[in-house]
Every structure is written in C-alpha cells, then in structure tokens.
Amino acid sequence: MEWIEISLSVDGESAEAVAELLQRYGHQGVVIEQDNIEQEAWDDGDIPPVTTLTIRAYIPADPRAEEAKLRLENALGHMSLMYPMPRPVYRVVHEEDWAEAWKAHYHPIRIGKRLFIRPLWVQMETDPEDIEIALDPGMAFGTGTHPTTQLCMESLEAHVQPGIKVLDLGCGSGVLGIVAAKLGAHSVLALDIDPIAVRVTNENAQQNGVAEKITAQEGSLESIVHSARRFDLIVVNIIAKVIIAMCEQHLGDVVRPGGMALFSGIIEDQADDVEAALIKTGLQPLSRRKQGDWVCIEAHRAGQH
C-alpha cells in the first residue's frame, strides 16, 4: 500500500489551525516539525526560537485521496481569507517507508533549564541534572515541538514544587503531566475527552517511569467541578476560546487557594480577553511567557493553602 504525505510550512500563529485541519484527514494524527535547525544545534542544545513549522499528515493513496485533497484545499482557501495560507505539498510514501517517515521528523529538544525531550528511538547522552522525557510521536501536540507546549513546560519547571497535586486538563499525549511528575509533583490527574489521548498518556507515563503518579481518565472540567476536587496547580494547553468558555464553568474553583494555574494555546492578541475571563473566575493573572506570537499566562488563586 502507498500513502500520500501532505505538508505545509507555516508560522507559529497559524500552526494550530492548520494542524487541526490536517488532523481531520491524516491517519494517526499529524506531525509538527520545527524547520531550519541543523543537527549540530540539536546536539549542542542551542535551539533557536520557532519561526517556521512544517505540518505533515498522511492519507491512504486510494480512490478517495483526490476527494480528500479537494476538500482540504477548499478549507485552506477559506482560511486564506483570514490569514495567508501556503499550498499543500504532496508526496507519495511507500508502505514500508511510512513508519520511518514519521520518525524522520522528530528530534530531541531541550526546553527551559533542565528538560530534555526525545523520541523513544533516539538515544543521546544527557547531563546529570537533565530531566529526560521519552515520547512516542503518535499524537499531534504532545512532542514538545509546538511553542504552546514549550511555554507550558517552561512554566511547569518554574512552578512545580515537590509534593503538589496537579491537574492536566486536555492532556493529549500526557507530556505535560509527565513533566510535572518528573519535576516532583506528588500526583497528576490527566483528563481528556478523547479515549485515544487517555491511552497514549498511560503508555507514555509507563515508559517514563511515572505511571504510579499519573491517573489518566476520560473527563472534562465539569466532572472536576462537580467532584469538588482541588489542585495545587492546573495546566491547560488548549485554545483561547475554550479557556474562556471554561472560565464561565467555574474553572477557578478547581484551584486551591494559593494555587497556580497555567494557560497556553493563546495568541498574543487574545491574551487580554483570556485574562479578563480568568479574573471573573477568581484567578489573578501574574505574568506572561512569550514565544513568537504565542503566550502562556501564569495566574494564581488568592488565599493560603
């Protein structure tokens, strides 16, 4: 069997929307790859800021492929009315090369001061103080290559304290929960409405030796609010409009008094609206981390533990 690789090179601002679109067509998710980085940069840990990302998806090369390509190009045409979009590039990949094609676009990456993210099949020498996370690339936003994920990791490194309880709301591949666990969190509840994300989170937690700390479940904010469970730190890496909607569903109530809340998936011009919603739900924005056009908002809930 043959596959058709679809690829688009975009900037950070449009990457999330393009990845979401390709997710509808791609088999087993999408690949997000940071462009224009020489291997020497990975080896030295001197990774430049994200400027361009390539989004890749694979579809079966069967009679339905032309229809899928037409629908995709029509959708990109509509998106171009709001933001310039490149034309997709198509390439045929043979069955025996397909798995290797996925692996070819993943590289180790250093984030923050101590975090080292690598694909499972890549072995590299690390520094003694490194916190290493090894991941399978089956999910779209769980590899550490997207700016929103990187910003969350940097915030987690700054705010996770030993023994705290963490909620990862919309866990995807589980990478953020795994980072929190390896930074010393006592426990992590990883929630996602997608059962595949729950399965992948459990697999990655097992692979990284933190399965005893992480509980991955299907669920949403509503289930947590109704349970009256509270957390020392929550991390939400979704998109701005979903975060704002969550604020209307008492998002602030799941954070303990004195606790922290980290929010990413936010474009800079959306940050003010998100912060206004956070204030209404009882959270006080403290600071912003930025990478390109992306923002991670760090907030806290007033009071004492």
Question: Residue by residue, what is the 3-state secondary structure of 89-124?
Answer: EEEEEEHHHHHHHHHCCCCCEEECCCEEEEECCCCC
219 or 108: whose pLDDT is higher? Answer: 219
Judge whether 150 and 141 are in contact, CB under 8 Å. Answer: no
Residue 25's domain spans which residues? 2-101
Q: In this predicted structure, which of 28-42, 45-59, 198-212 has the lowest mean pLDDT?
A: 28-42
Residues 68 and 207 in one domain: no
pLDDT of 46 over the 80 cut? no
Q: What pLDDT is recorded for position 141?
A: 45
Indicate the burial class of 136 (C-beta count within 10 angstroms; 0-12, 13-18, 19 or more). Answer: middle
Residues 88 and 208 in one domain: no
- Sheet of strand 115-119: strand arrangement: 109-111, 115-119, 131-135
Q: Is the pTM of this model over 0.85?
A: no
Judge whether 32 and 21 are in contact, CB under 8 Å. Answer: no
Segment 243-281, tens digit of pLDDT: 999 999 999 999 999 999 999 988 888 999 999 999 999
Residues 96 and 167 in one domain: no
Q: What pLDDT is recorded for position 288?
A: 96
pLDDT band at 43 (very low <50, low <70, confident <90, very high): very low
Percent of the chain at pLDDT > 90 equals 38
> Measured between alpha carbons, how far is 151 from 136 in angstroms, rounded to an integer?
20
Give the residue-averaged pLDDT of 178-195: 93
38: helix, coil or strand? coil
Q: What pLDDT is recorded for position 259?
A: 96
Pick the last residue of a domain from 50, 76, 101.
Answer: 101
Pick the last residue of a domain from 42, 74, 101.
Answer: 101
- Sheet of strand 231-237: strand arrangement: 214-218, 187-192, 165-169, 231-237, 255-267, 294-300, 284-291
Residues 57 and 150 in one domain: no
SS (H, E, C) 132-161: EEEECCCCCCCCCCCHHHHHHHHHHHHHCC
Residue 135 lies in a domain: no
Residues 295 and 158 in one domain: yes
The tally of domains found in the chain comes to: 2
Judge whether 274 and 300 are in contact, CB under 8 Å. Answer: no
Q: What pLDDT is recorded for position 51?
A: 65
Residues 277 and 191 in one domain: yes
CATH of residue 94's domain is 3.30.70.120
Judge whether 262 and 118 are in contact, CB under 8 Å. Answer: no
Residue 138 lies in a domain: no
Residues 68 and 169 in one domain: no
Give the residue-averaged pLDDT of 161-171: 94
160 or 4: whose pLDDT is higher? Answer: 160
CA dist 259 → 64, 151, 166, 230, 301 (Å): 50, 19, 10, 9, 6
Residues 284 and 149 in one domain: yes
